[in-house]
A and B are shown apart, each in its own frame.
Chain A
């Protein structure tokens, strides 16, 4: 009897292991397919994909400086990836990361240059100020969804462009520093995120991103709020029936999601640029965040890994262009293929059903 229990436990352990392994298959296949399609594009124009991918690899792992710069590229993607993943867990699609990025960018910059305060007050104020402004921007979409049933995909797309033109107006008008360039004044030294290495641009923003990933993990799996958010995401009606206020959780989730995407903009200003420049379009961190979240299966640890992968691609694309003569846009093609592949997960269900059916028929025939 006892040995039987032990066997069961072992089998359970084995199952968990297989489940974990299975959950890794699709992201890994997606990345391989993405790189393969990228290679096809390179071959089509007569470039050497092997050389290009070696350049890509070396750009991230060839030197400490390269590795540090890759982490700089990874930082905003961790934030926007977490933002998308967190909203997904509530069953909401935050496609507004780019707008929330800009709101966090401009608001933290304003807090950074408008006040003269000691560092231990000024830096947190600028960080939190930018973060909360972006949170409110995102939360508004949650409010419209919860109270009026307006689809958050549409509102967040629309609010991206409103944010773009609004920040463009601010940086070219009321918040513009004197001089020719359309940009805000520079922030005070007390609002800057400290550099982590004696060289390069890697700064404390990366640490903030890792902390944010842990906090998201903690909220989702260790708190009542997280439990409620996940319950609403799985089945809003059932959650409501069980006494969970779906509306309140939607608003809160979009607020937190906005905060996370906003932090990408906050660290862009406080850690890298030290002022806000007039935007002419979206950098696209919000959209890349969707790829990161999908690849990371909406889990904070997966998001960090996914963001690192895209960080490598983004940083390496420049070198790929200059050394291997491959247009840097090939990484956008790779990214799109990865998203499509992960999104079309159903393909594998179809395939495995077909294989099962085929095997069964074969077995029956025997």
Chain B
């Protein structure tokens, strides 16, 4: 009984962590290049809607995933243009996108389905079963069968680490985030690198959005991100702006979420569920305040760059 609960707890943690991992990876790319991206929340919301719409219109959930990723990149490109080219305050731009996302998704929901609240059910992405691993006891129960987004997110962590720390492109991203003037002086195109990084963050957040509406569920619910973009931002900070750190933080936050869900279904009230829900945010503030390790953002994070 106990072991089964623990297994299901870890399984749920992983499932709940997947959207956070994906969006947090997006945040890592954007902020490492020096552009604050609090629009992750809004991008996820728009993509969640688009994933549902894509699956609804074609019946093919993978087309929904593609639609979500495309629109994620598109919205991020707007954020990139406003922050990089127009040198707007990046937080203000992100805020505008978040408000826009909340408005436009509810607007579309009413227009497409004449309903408020939620969309009809659509075809969701089918779970994958890992060969071999699924047959191993316990480990198979935790890892063996999941929505593809779980596996994709784990693979992308490795990919992001490689890209950011082992390739010339990663070095460029990090250098424009730390010292854009120096990067510029050695011939790196600061604007171009930042554009690529911010749009990449949109692609990741787009996947994260799809994982909510056609991975975890099979429909779009109004404001269904409900702060997950901000938790992803928290995971990115808690993970010290690295892919592997973001992974661990997202797993921790996913665990808190799973614990809260388990406590609720079992009717346990040893700890109010609200306290578990706020845990990620409290931990992140503690991390930033230096109570748990130290978290320092890239030096030029949030500053627009003016070419000489």
Q: Which residues of A contact B (CB under 8 A)?
A: 41, 45, 93, 95, 144, 148, 150-151, 153-155, 157-159, 161-162, 165-166, 168-169, 172-173, 281, 284, 287-288, 290-291, 294, 327, 329-333, 335-337, 339-340, 343-347, 350
Contacts and interface: CB of A to CB of B under 8 A. Distances in A.
A150 to B, nearest CB: 4
Given A158-B284, A161-B227, A340-B82, 13 more contacts: A93-B91, A150-B285, A150-B288, A151-B297, A153-B38, A166-B278, A288-B99, A291-B99, A327-B106, A333-B107, A336-B97, A337-B100, A346-B86
Contact of A332 (B89, B99, B274): B99
Given A144-B289, A150-B289, A339 B99 contact: yes
Main SS at interface, chain A = helix
Nearest to B290: A148
B223 interface: yes
B99 A165 contact: no
How many interface residues does chain B have, given as a range?
35 or more
A288 to B, nearest CB: 8
B30 to A, nearest CB: 14
B92 interface: yes
Contacts of B93: 340, 343-344
Given A144-B288, A290-B95, A45 B111 contact: yes
Interface stretch (B174-182, B205-213, B229-237): B229-237
Contacts of A350: 86
B297 A148 contact: no
A335 B223 contact: no
B36 interface: yes
Given A144-B288, A154-B237, A159-B285, A332 B88 contact: no
B107 A346 contact: no
B35 to A, nearest CB: 13
A163 to B, nearest CB: 9
Main SS at interface, chain B = helix
Nearest to B283: A158
B274 A336 contact: no
Interface in B74-89: 82, 86-89
Contacts of A284: 99, 102
Contacts of A172: 274
Given A95-B91, A281-B226, A333 B100 contact: yes
A45 B114 CA distance: 12
Contacts of B234: 158
16 contacts: A144-B285, A144-B289, A151-B297, A154-B233, A158-B281, A161-B278, A165-B275, A290-B92, A327-B107, A327-B111, A330-B103, A332-B103, A332-B104, A339-B92, A343-B82, A343-B89
B96 interface: yes
B284 A331 contact: no
A330 B110 CA distance: 11
Q: Which 4 A-B pairs have the closest CB atoms?
A: A332-B103, A336-B100, A339-B96, A169-B274
A139 B297 CA distance: 22
B117 interface: no
Contacts of B120: none
B217 interface: no
A332 B89 CA distance: 20
A327 B110 contact: yes
Nearest to B282: A162
A343 B285 contact: no
A239 to B, nearest CB: 20
B277 interface: yes
Contacts of A294: 92
A287 B274 contact: no
Given A287-B99, A343-B92, A329 B104 contact: yes
A168 B227 CA distance: 15
Nearest to B297: A151
B282 A344 contact: no
A162 B86 contact: no
A339 B92 CA distance: 7
Given A329-B102, A330-B103, A336-B99, A157 B230 contact: yes
Given A154-B288, A329-B110, A95 B103 contact: no
Contact of A343 (B96, B103, B230): B96
B272 interface: yes
A264 to B, nearest CB: 17
Given A290-B95, A339-B92, A173 B107 contact: no
Given A343-B93, A344-B88, A162 B103 contact: no
A207 to B, nearest CB: 29
A93 B95 CA distance: 12
B117 to A, nearest CB: 12
B98 interface: yes
A97 to B, nearest CB: 11
A229 B246 CA distance: 37
Contacts of B106: 327, 329, 332
A123 to B, nearest CB: 30
A172 B275 CA distance: 13
Nearest to A288: B99
Nearest to B272: A169
Most buried by A among B91, B93, B237: B91
